Structure formats: structure tokens, C-alpha cells
Amino acid sequence: MTSSPLLARLLRIEWLPLLAMAVAAIIVLALISSSFFSTYNLFVMLRILSVTSLVALSQMVTIAIGQMNLAVGAIGGLVAILFGAMLELYGVPIPLAVLAAVGVGLACGAINGWLIAWTRINGFIITLAMLSVFTGLNYGITKSIPFYNMPQALKSAYDSYLGPVPMILFIPVLAALGVGFILNFTRAGRHMLAMGGNPAAAELAGISISRTTIFTHVLSGGLAGLAGVVAVARLGTAEPTIGADWLLASFAAPVIGGAALAGGYVSVIGTMIAVVLVILLENGLLLARTNPFYVQFFLGALILLAVMFNQWRARRVAMRVTTRRVVSP
């Protein structure tokens, strides 16, 4: 490792190529479209970022332990309509409603985690079943009718500024810092990554697989619930369809960001840059006035290219590096 060439050294920082791509995308978009740097367009992207970053982090934590949470969108949708119902039907004060809504998300995650830990059935099947259960509850309660009358205070809080900085910028930043802190500096986070790396070895080392599974799914459910709340604030209505299209995005960002689906390795920074990259892609196609269907096509292509690149990078790094960090900050 003493005389590793520059390329190899740069390749080891797994989010650097992503950052380069994002910067390149920004430059290209700024050159192509004069309206890219307009306050309006930046704010539009920031609004999307406020929800998608939470969705991505929610999936990322379950990927860290080598599982999946297919119910991320279903939890987000259920929390969104319960949040809307609390505000519209029962006039619950906003802070209390936010707390209660996130609590519902945590509870949904706890049910997922407890079912997986107790039955020892693959998390994929359990969360697929709970996806159906949560979505069914959502539509059963609302009969597919949104709650339209959200208090003005909610919208104005969402669109407010702290000095020159929009409040909604704090949502992704704080969430990423929180998840990064848990993964890197807490015992629970170390247990999660150890379990993701090798569950059998982790169990032999005295880590409780059940407790770690439940903790992770509670965390994932809480983040998904928070995403549901933010989505309601963003849209100004509590729609039952919130979360229905989160599945692809939730996996796209962590995987583009370098996470191993087998578990044990995730990158918070990589995931966040990947979210930005996906938003830039969508925004670019929007500014170029292409058919909206192109977004889906290019997003699929982007995921494929990114995972292939990540694999190539991992092979290059594996050839040169013997020691390996478990998680990047």
C-alpha cells in the first residue's frame, strides 16, 4: 500500500466517482438549460430530495444487515394517511401528529422485525406480506380518498427558511448524519454491520441476531414513516398513493452508492450522492422536455451501469488492498 498509484487510491474512496458524475451532470445541465440554476428549479429538486433521501436511508439500513424492506413505501403510505387523518379529522397539533406518525412507522418496523426474528423466515417474504397488509390497511381506511385539508402551518413550516437556508435542506442532512452516527459510532450500528457481514460469525461473537434485526427494522420503519410525513408536507395533501412508487428509488440509491446487497457494507455518503444523481437525471430529462417515460428507462440503465462500475471498482481495490474498512462515514 506504500506506493499505490493515484487511480487506485482514488478508487478506494467509493463515493468519489459518484461525486464526479454528479458534478459533471450539474455542469452539463447548467450549460444546457438556463433555468437549471433558477431558485425555483433548485427548490423543486430540494423538495424531491427531502423525501427520497429518507426513503433511500430507510432501505439502506436493512441492506446493511443483509435483508430487505419491501414495505418501505407501504409504511410511508400508511403513516402519511394516518398523519393526514390526525390533522384533518382530529385537529391534533402538528408537532404531536408528527411524533405520533413517526411512532406508527417505528411500530410498523417493529412488527416486521419481530416477525422476521421470531419466525426466522426470510425477511423478503415477511416484508412482501407486510407490504400487502399495510397497503390494504391504508386503502381500507381511506377507501382511496385523500385527506385534502392540511393546515396552512404545515405547508409554511415546510417552505420556511432559516436565514438563507431552506428548512427542508436540514431533513436529508440531519437524517444522513443520524444514520451515519448510528452505523459508525454506536454498538447497535457495529452489530448491524457485523451481522450483515456474517450472521453466523456475529452470533458466535455474542451478537443477538434477533435484537439486531428488530432494531434495524424499527429504524427502517421510523425513517419510512418520517418520509411519509415529509411527503404529506410536500404535497399539501395526505394521499393514499404516497409510497406506491418508492420501491425502485429505495434500492437504486443505496446500490448505486456502493452498498452490497449481501449485507455488511453500506455507504451513507455514497447513498446520498446517488439520491442527488438520480434527482439530477430526472431533472435533466424534465428540462430537456422529454417524454416522462424516458425517466424510467434511464433510471434502470443508470442502476445497471452503476452496479457494474461498483463491481469493477471493488475488484480493482481487492487486488491492491488487504485491509478493508467496514463502513465509510
Partner 1 sequence: MSDVIEPRAGARAGAASWGDRLLRVAHAGGLLLVIVLITGGASLFVPNFLSPFNQFTLTRNLGVDIIIGFGMMVVLGLGHMNLALGAIGACAAMVVGFCLQTLGLPIPLAIAGAILAGALLGALNGVLVVRTGLDSFIITLATASLYFGLMFILTRAEAFRDLPADFSALGKGRVGPYSSFLVIAGVVAAGLVVIFNFSELGRQILATGANRTAASLSGIPVNRVIIVTHALSGAIAAIAGVMVTARLASALPSIGEEWLLPSFLAPLLGGTLLAGGFVSVIGAALGAILLSVLQNTLVLLNVSGFWIQFFLGLALLAAVGIDRWRVVQTQKRGTPGR
H/E stretch holding 166: strand 165-166
Q: d(Cα 202, Cα 323) in Å, to the nearest integer? A: 19
d(CA 60, CA 252) in angstroms, rounded, equals 10
Q: Which stretch binds partner 1 (CB under 8 A): 4-12, 64-72, 216-224, 226-234?
A: 64-72
Indicate which single residue of 8, 13, 128, 321 sits in contact with partner 1 (rule: CB under 8 A).
Answer: 128
143, 187, 289, 324: which one binds partner 1 (CB under 8 A) = 143
Cα angle 318, 319, 325 (rounded to 5 degrees) comes to 30
294 near partner 1, rule: CB under 8 A: yes
AA identity, residue 43: F
- Please give the grid coordinates belonging to residue 261: 446487497
113 lies in the binding site for partner 1 (CB under 8 A) = no
Q: Find the binder of partner 1 among 301, 318, 320, 329 (CB under 8 A).
A: 301
List the one residue out of 53, 67, 289 whose CA is nearest residue 178.
53
The reply on whether position 317 binds partner 1 by CB under 8 A is no
Using the contact rule CB under 8 A, the part of the chain among 80-88, 111-119, 219-227, 269-277 near partner 1 is 111-119
| Residue carrying C-alpha cell 478506494 | 12
Q: Is 77 in the site for partner 1 (CB under 8 A)?
A: no
126 versus 150: smaller Cβ distance to partner 1: 126
Cα angle 165-31-14, degrees, rounded to a multiple of 5: 65
Q: Is 299 in the site for partner 1 (CB under 8 A)?
A: yes
Stretch in the footprint of partner 1 (CB under 8 A) among 23-31, 137-145, 160-168, 231-239: 137-145
Q: Give 129-142 as a 3 state SS string.
A: HHHHHHHHHHHHHH
Site membership for partner 1, residue 1 (CB under 8 A): no
Residue type, 6: L
Nearest approach in angstroms of CB 30 to partner 1 is 26
Residue 328 φ then ψ, to 5°: -90, 150
**Can you tell me which residue has the cell 408537532?**
95
198-202 own/partner pairs: CB under 8 Å, 24+ apart = 198/264, 199/66
The window from 4-12, 93-101, 127-135, 269-277 that contacts partner 1 (CB under 8 A) reads 127-135
Rounded Cα gap, residues 321 and 329, in angstroms: 19
* Contact assessment for residue 80 and residue 244, using Cβ atoms and an 8 Å cutoff: no
Interaction between residue 321 and partner 1 (CB under 8 A): no
Question: Residues 163, 206, 293, 319: which binds partner 1 (CB under 8 A)?
Answer: 293
Q: Would you count residue 144 as binding partner 1 (CB under 8 A)? A: yes
What residues from 212 to 251 belong to the interface with partner 1 (CB under 8 A)?
Answer: 213, 247-248, 251
Q: How many residues bind partner 1 (CB under 8 A)?
A: 53
Residues that bind partner 1 (CB under 8 A): 66-68, 115-116, 119-126, 128-137, 139-140, 142-144, 196, 199, 213, 247-248, 251, 255, 261-263, 291, 293-301, 303-304, 307-308, 311
